[in-house]
Amino acid sequence: MTNNNAIEAHGLTKFYGDFLAVDHISFEVEQGEIFGFLGPNGAGKSTTIRMLTGVSTPTEGTAKIMGFDILKHSVDAKSVMGIVPDISNIYTELSAWENLVFTGKLYGVSKDRREKKAEELLQLFDLYDRRDEKTETFSRGMRRRVCIAMALINDSKVLYLDEPTSGLDVKSVRNIRRRIRELNEDGLTIFLTTHNIEEASQMCDRIAIINRGRIAEIDTPERIRSAMESNQAVEIAFKEQTKGTREMLGRLSSVTEVHKRGDKLRLITNDSAQTLKEILQAIDENGLVPVSLNTLGASMEDAFLWLTGSEMESEIIHRRNRRR
């Protein structure tokens, strides 16, 4: 382990009563990295972020933020982080300016520094002209920007973003993503929790996929995607399609699975070229009329579903074996 790590999680575990929400997860995030934390709903993403930020106490394990233990040196650890939770938890009774200044006071930022910083951040996030208005009049996107600005008032070194663009319009999403990239270019480490695979793929240097409280994979988006290259697909639609058509395609030697996707059939294969040959032969022999035919590479979404789906499968098998 080197000193270049902004976040180090060691065996983080959280039980809610008997329910195991996070199961001994360990990972490291390097300084200056955008680290994505992906998982389906209920996978343990928010619980992990709550433990990493000191909001929730881990049942077991610990984490270090810029070298400071979140449990033993919580004041130091918390001083270097900024948090944007999944909802914009700003004080709507206060103005944008008051929200930022209050947060600065809470982090012990000196008066001159917090006022200068608040001004800079409100300008950066295009809120300066409305700084004195109560934030209850702000749109959801504007509140999100206030929330991010509040997380940066203390010159944080690590920024936690929990679903930062969820529920926002396209313009706000682009604006926030652009700002996040700019902040990262200035050296800020970003821990991004999302279930938007495309967002994680576009923005993150590395991604951890969490499922049922366990880390299923940690790698770069491209390596995760390319690990799925063996799982290619051919998608075909026919003018008329029967149950027999699906069964016939399922019997092709190169096809491993057949899934119905709307009016199309998706054939999972290890060799798409061989599958195409076999399909064309089957069309000819059975007198079928194809409407469209496409070959598909593995996407991040496929990788995500495969990683989280296979975990589920193995768990079902494990449970079955246990019952025996």
Partner 1 sequence: MTHVTIVDRIKRSWAITIKDMKIYYIRPPALMFGILFPVALFFTFTVGRNLSPERLIPVLSAQTVFWSASTIGPVAIPMERRLRTFERFLSAPISLIAVLWGKMMAGFIFGAGITTLATVIGILWGNQTVSNPVALVLGIGLSSMVYSAMGILFASIPTGSPGEVIVPLNFVRIPLMFVSGMFIPVENMPAAGQIVAALSPLTHTIGLLNLGTGSSSVFGFAANIGVLLVWMLVFLYVGQMFHKMIMRRE
Residues near partner 1 (CB under 8 A) are 16, 50, 53-57, 68, 73-76, 78-79, 81, 83, 85, 87, 89-94, 98, 102-103, 105-108
User: In the complex with partner 1, which residue's Cβ is closer, 191 or 306?
Assistant: 191
CB of 185 to partner 1, least distance (A): 25
Helices 170-185 + 140-152 axis angle, to 10: 10
CB of 103 to partner 1, least distance (A): 7
| Cβ at position 106, least distance to partner 1 in Å | 5
Tell me how far, at minimum, the Cβ of 76 lies from partner 1, in Å: 5
Phi, psi of 88 (to 5 degrees): -75, 95
Q: Are 114 and 153 in contact (CB under 8 A)?
A: yes
Interatomic CA distance for residues 49 and 213, integer angstroms: 12
- CB 305: neighbour CB atoms within 10 A? 14
Nearer to partner 1, 53 or 272 (CB): 53
Q: Which is nearer to partner 1, 98 or 219 (CB)?
A: 98
Express the helix, strand and coil content of the chain in percent, nearest 5 each.
Answer: 40, 30, 30
**The one-letter amino acid at 288:** L
Q: Which is nearer to partner 1, 57 or 139 (CB)?
A: 57
**Of 36 and 82, CB closest to partner 1:** 82
Q: Beta-carbon neighbour count of residue 117 at 10 Å?
A: 20
Task: Give the burial class of 2: count Cβ atoms within 10 A of its Cβ; 0-12 exposed, 13-18 middle, 19 or more buried.
Answer: exposed
Closest approach of Cβ 11 to partner 1, in Å? 17
80 or 258: whose CB is closer to partner 1? 80
> Judged by CB, which is closer to partner 1: 108, or 309?
108
Minimum distance between the CB of residue 127 and partner 1, rounded to whole angstroms?
A: 19
Give the residue with the Cβ less far from partner 1, 105 or 223.
Answer: 105
Cβ 210 to partner 1 shortest distance, Å: 19
CA angle, 42 as apex, 41 and 46 as ends, to 5°?
Answer: 95
Nearest approach, Cβ of residue 208 and partner 1 (Å): 21
67-70 contacts at long range (C-beta below 8 A, 24 or more positions apart): 67/3, 67/5
Give every CB contact of residue 312 below 8 A, 6+ residues apart in sequence. 211, 212
Confirm if 53 and 5 have CB atoms less than 8 A apart: no
User: Residue 54 to residues 59, 71, 107, 205, 242: CA-CA distances in angstroms?
Assistant: 12, 7, 15, 25, 57
